[in-house]
Each structure stands twice: as C-alpha cells, then as structure tokens.
Amino acid sequence: MINTEKSIAYIALGSNLGNRGGNINKALAYLEAVSGLELVKISSIIETIPLGGPEGQGMYFNAVCKIATELTPWELLDVLLETENRLGRIRTEKDGPRTIDLDILLYNNEIIRQGDKLVIPHPRMASRRFVLELMAEIAPEVVHPELNASMIELLDKYDNGE
C-alpha cells in the first residue's frame, strides 16, 4: 500500500540581491510547480538586516511558507537547492549575499541530523527573531520539536530576552 499522507514542512525564503521580492515570488512559483508539493500558506514579506557574513550587504527580504508534501526531507532539500540554482544563487562565502536562500525550518515533528547537509529543525531558527515572527504569523501553535515550545511562545521568550 502506498502512503499518500502528506507531510507538513515550513520553508524560510530570503533574498538580498537583485529584485528581492521578485526572487521570493519566483521561488514560490517554482515550488508550486513541483509535483507532490502544495503551497498551503505564505507569510508576509518583511525587510531585515543581514545577520553574519561580510559587511556591506544589502537588506534582506524574508518570508516563510507552509507546504504539504509527499517528498521526503532529502527530496525536498534537493528541490530547494535546484530552485536556488535556477534563480542564480552562487555560493562564494558563508552567509554572503544571495539572490535566494531556501531553508527547511521544520518537517513534521522530525529531528534530522545529516552532517551539515540536512539539519531539521533549522539550527538557528529560534535565535532569529524574523523567523519566529514569520512562523508565528502563519503557524503560531506549531511546536518546535526540540525546544517543546510553540512559535508564539518562542517569539515571546525571544522578546523578553530569555
């Protein structure tokens, strides 16, 4: 019997090169066209300062989307990397400027550690206010599987310096 139950994942999108909003919209369109992947909900797009990386980078546009998918986490990662390539992402330095950055934040309630290649939940999501803000916008009650707190609780803790 084939398992047709879909998994729920949350994807972070960021861009600070070129048409930032256009890059995010193109990435969403590419994802929407993938067989076995359905865009369920998309957050607002917000502008944020660069965190880490070389000085002098431009401001980022960031968003988060919720997807329902038949893809495994590894297949989803491949789709995200291919989408980055299609949009001209070139990796020259860690945390450098990019046309698009796509990261898996959560995949169901799974905890996955595959070296540096696949780490779920995203290791820095709880330390980035903009990620928590966007997650709280579209999925406030979703619980971080390692921290055992909802997105709205994590945002509240972040804002209170905890």
Rounded to the nearest angstrom, the gap between the alpha carbon of residue 154 and the centroid of all alpha carbons in its chain is 17
- The per-residue pLDDT for 93 is 72
Contacts of 120 (CB under 8 A, 6+ apart): 73, 104, 105, 106, 107, 110, 111, 112
Active-site hit among 78, 86, 89, 91? 89
- The pTM of the full predicted model, rounded to 2 decimals, is 0.94
Number of domains in the chain: 1
129 is catalytic: no
Active-site hit among 78, 86, 95, 103? 103
Residue-wise pLDDT for 3-62, tens only, equals 568 999 999 999 999 999 999 999 999 999 999 999 999 999 999 999 887 888 899 999
78 is catalytic: no
For the chain, the average pLDDT equals 93
Q: How far is 162 from 25, CA to CA, in rounded Å?
A: 34
- Here the CATH number for the domain that contains residue 75 is 3.30.70.560
Q: Is residue 148 part of a domain?
A: no
Rounded to the nearest angstrom, the gap between the alpha carbon of residue 48 and the centroid of all alpha carbons in its chain is 15
Residue located via tokens 């994802």? 31
Q: Is residue 161 part of a domain?
A: no
Which range of residues forms the domain containing residue 111? 7-124
Q: Do residues 138 and 41 touch, judged by C-beta distance below 8 A?
A: yes
Residue-wise pLDDT for 110-140, tens only, equals 999 988 889 999 999 999 999 999 999 999 9
101 is catalytic: yes
Active-site hit among 78, 91, 95, 101? 101
Tokens coding 11: 């994807």
Q: Is residue 162 part of a domain?
A: no
Percent of the chain with pLDDT over 70: 98
Q: How far is 107 from 69, CA to CA, in rounded Å?
A: 10
- The per-residue pLDDT for 1 is 45
